[in-house]
Amino acid sequence: MAAVVPQGGSRKCNIHLHMKTFVKVIEVWVPDRERTLLELGAGLYGDYQEFKQVSELKRFFYNEGLPGRAWASGKPVVLTQFDDSYFRRIDAARQVGLTAGIALPVFAGSFLLGVVVFLCGDEEEHAGAIEVWGRDAEIASEMTLIDGYYGTLRKFEWISRHVNIGRGHGLPGGVWDSRLPMLIDDLGHSDSFVRSSNAEQAGIDTGMGIPCLRGRDEVYAVNFLSARETPIARRFEIWVPAGRSGLVFKAGHCDQGIEIEMNYRSSSIAKGEGTIGRVWLTGVPAVCEGLETDNSVAGRSARLVGLNSMLALPVIDGVNLTAVVAMYL
């Protein structure tokens, strides 16, 4: 049986630094001082420096562009094709091969803290998925797919769009029920993943589900389904508060190699310490472009296996931070 890792994870890590990733660019857009528009707070652009230069000059008003649309809707937004859309950087994206995006807003109550944007590009071997699930309008006890981007996985996309998932079942149902992030390893053989046989055929082996919570009843589950050949991230981690003493490691995944959990035994991250601790302190999503500057236990552990950058994403229920999800690129 495959392992579901919602409690404590001992996963291995063997980094292939030249492997292509499903997500090409990650951006964090934050409100300006007047809170009338969004400006670029930080980003991970890798080889897409020309696109970065264009993005640094952009600002987005409420309901404008992909970040502004997520701000206005108050929920995750998927844009599967930039051409002839409301995306405001179409020409720049086309020049570097970026074709689709997903925007995830982060709120504390009704107060917007930031919008995280994931940008992808179509390639011949571009397998993986980022999905947004929400409660079914007719069957309150089930979730249905709102939208998703699947790269080249057309069959898996078709199946996903024709499946309803009950509360507590599968990755989206588990996230809905717990209101916490959830990691499932070896999806193709997991009894906890409803589409396991389809995932195995598609080459998808790891699933990270993250809740987007707007009140008690409005719950969205954002699934990051990572394939072996084009992973969404090279490493996933979930950190949770342990009282006021610090954040402790809850679950993690890398491909093969050293045990992640061994690096974190009896360790914690204090508020403001490193990228993950800064997110716990502020509630604002953050990226670290050079992990050599992150001296937390997470930063040191990542450097040991050659990881260079990280996104730290807060999970906030009401006004309380309940977890931080780290994705390493």
Give the integer Cα–Cα distance in Å for 212 and 315.
7
> Which of 308 and 1 is assigned the larger pLDDT?
308
Q: How does pLDDT run across 256-302, given as a tens digit for each residue? A: 545 788 889 889 999 999 999 999 999 999 999 999 999 999 999 99
What pLDDT band is residue 116 in, cutting at 50, 70 and 90?
very high
Q: How does pLDDT run across 221-243, given as a tens digit for each residue? A: 999 999 888 899 989 999 999 98
Give the integer Cα–Cα distance in Å for 235 and 254.
5
Parse the chain into domains and list their residue ranges.
23-121, 126-232, 234-329
What pLDDT band is residue 178 in, cutting at 50, 70 and 90?
very high
DSSP summary character for residue 169: S
The CATH homologous superfamily for domain 126-232 is GAF domain (3.30.450.40)
Contacts of 75 (CB under 8 A, 6+ apart): 105, 132, 134, 212, 214, 218, 220
Rg (CA), the chain: 18
Tokens of 281: 């302190």
Q: Which CATH number applies to 234-329: 3.30.450.40, 3.10.20.440, 1.10.1740.10, 3.30.450.20?
A: 3.30.450.40
User: What's the gap between Cα 54 and its chain centre?
Assistant: 24
Give me the chain's average pLDDT, please.
90
What pLDDT band is residue 12 in, cutting at 50, 70 and 90?
very low
Contacts of 111 (CB under 8 A, 6+ apart): none
Give the integer Cα–Cα distance in Å for 101 and 262.
35
Q: Which CATH number applies to 23-121: 3.30.450.40, 3.30.110.30, 3.40.50.1400, 3.40.50.2300?
A: 3.30.450.40
pLDDT of residue 258: 55
316 near 107, Cβ under 8 Å?
Answer: yes
pLDDT of residue 28: 98
Give the integer Cα–Cα distance in Å for 21 and 307.
13
Q: How does pLDDT run across 74-101, given as a tens digit for each residue? A: 999 999 999 999 999 999 999 999 999 9
> Which of 214 and 177 is assigned the larger pLDDT?
177
pLDDT of residue 24: 94
Distances (CA, A) of 235 to 33, 86, 126, 183: 34, 32, 18, 12
Give the integer Cα–Cα distance in Å for 321 and 27.
21
> Which of 323 and 243 is assigned the larger pLDDT?
323
The single residue listed with the structure tokens 């859309």 is: 85
pLDDT of residue 19: 57
pLDDT of residue 3: 38
DSSP summary character for residue 160: H
pLDDT of residue 265: 85
Give percent of the chain with pLDDT exceeding 90. Answer: 73
* Helix and strand numbers, DSSP H then E, in the chain: 9, 20
What pLDDT band is residue 139 in, cutting at 50, 70 and 90?
confident
Tokens of 319: 């006004």
What pLDDT band is residue 124 in, cutting at 50, 70 and 90?
low
The single residue listed with the structure tokens 């931070």 is: 321
pLDDT of residue 85: 96
**Where is 300: in which H helix or E strand?**
helix 297-304
